[in-house]
Every structure is written in structure tokens, then in C-alpha cells.
Amino acid sequence: MAQVDLNSDLGEVWRGTATADDEAMFALITSANIACGFHAGDDRSMRDAVRRSTLHGVSLGAHPSYRDEAGFGRRDQDVPPEALEAEVLEQLRALGRAVDEVRVADGDGPRLAYVKPHGALYNRIVHDRVQASAVVRAVLAASEELGRSLPVLGMPGSVIEEEARAAGLRFVAEAFVDRGYRSDGSLVPRDQPGALLTDETAAARRAVALVLDRRIASVDGDELELEALSLCVHGDTPGAVSMAAAVRAALVAAGVELVAPW
């Protein structure tokens, strides 16, 4: 039976307002990428996400970003590598503290399972080796503190994949069911036409094709080969809950098992 992970960016409370219906999304996915305070999220939202992860049996991942609350982490930044390493590690530690606090208070809780960078940082480390290496060093430091290796979730064929594997970290490739792809395999920038897919039927068809055929159509009409173990539906995409439900139902109907790879 084919298997795939379904992930979503959650815990993204921005200036006091939740950008997604976390409770509904947690019930549909298998892995949750949790904002760690630099683009969105705070101590309370992280603890809430940890508890929801336990309730729904969802794997918990850290979703670190540039220090860019005003731009929701979606503005490119030229951060010195030492500073970037420290800032990513700070975010991983913040979510780790939330996990520890919940486990102490509730007597139960998940463990931090993986790391997926957010927004502009995610896109930058597709091609920027200096920043990718800084992110990897932060993940290695967090792994050493935890006593176990944290995998990295990201774009296949990227520089961050090369750097993670070279450092001995497991890399898990993902694809987006709600974002447009260019012919070179990169994502269409959010300020350009075709960047966001909001048709849940089209997203569901795309998800099944990605898993069973390893294919996805670019906005230019080219067909790309893309092998991914995880599929992402962004929590703040318009209609995200109904899209995630449609994607999940289509995958199950196609005989695909939804399971976290961590």
C-alpha cells in the first residue's frame, strides 16, 4: 500500500489572531509544523499545539522562520549565518520548552519529531548553501540537546537536502498541494499569478497524482517528476479545512495510507 504524510503549518497566531482553524486541521493531518514565535505563535499557542498533537495523534514539528513578525516570515532576509543559526536554535528550544511544560503539567505529551523551515527561509535554503548550512547546524545542536536526531522536512533536490544529508540528518521531501510550481521545480512566488491553488477538487487530484504517479503540472504547462513522502496543505490557505478534508478523502479512496514518516 502506498503511504504519505499530510502536513500543515499551524499554531500561527499572528498579532493575537489565529490564521487557521487549528482544531479542525489537526483532525485531518498526520504532521503539524508549529510556529515558534518569530513569524507567528507564542508560548500559549505552542502549548495548545502540543496538546492538540497528543489529542489527535499528530506528529509535532518545529516551523522556524526569519525574525519577521511584521512580514509573517515571508520576506527574504540577508541574515549572517551565525545569527541565523542562533535564531533557528532559539526557536527549536522554544517549542521544546512547550513540549516539556505540557508533559510536566499533563503527565503526557508528544516529542519534537522534525523541523520544517517556514516561508522565505524555506525558499532561500533551496538554493543558498550558506543559510542552509546555518539551519543544519542549528538542527544538529538541537538534536544533540535532545539526544536524538531531528529529521528535516523540505523541498526535494534542494541545497538544504544536500546539507542535511551530508551532516547525517535524515531528509524528508515534501510537495505542496496548494501552491503553484514553476517548470524548474521551484514555487511560484506568492505575489505572482498562479501562486496559490484554492480549488479543493484540483488539490485532491493533484495529491493522488503526486503519490501514485509522482507527477505534478507546472503553471507553465510542463509536467514535473516529483517524489515526496509528505504533502502540505497550508493552514492559512482559503478553504484550508475543506481542502485538507478533500485531499484526505481522495487519498484514502485511492488506497493511500496516511502515516507520519518520523
pLDDT digits (tens, 9 = 90+) for 39-68: 999 999 999 999 999 999 999 999 999 999
The closest of 87, 100, 83, 89 to 43, measured between CA atoms, is 100
pLDDT score, position 1: 85
Considering only CA atoms, give the Rg of the chain.
Answer: 17
| pTM metric for this prediction | 0.97
Encode pLDDT of 105-115 as tens digits.
999 999 999 99
pLDDT at 165 > cutoff 90 = yes
Q: How far is CA 173 from CA 56, 69, 76, 141, 213, in A?
A: 23, 27, 22, 22, 16
Cα within 13 Å of Cα(145), Cβ side: 14
| Mean pLDDT value of segment 197-221 | 96
| Mean pLDDT value of segment 114-122 | 98
The β-bridge relationship of strands 215-217 and 223-225 is: antiparallel
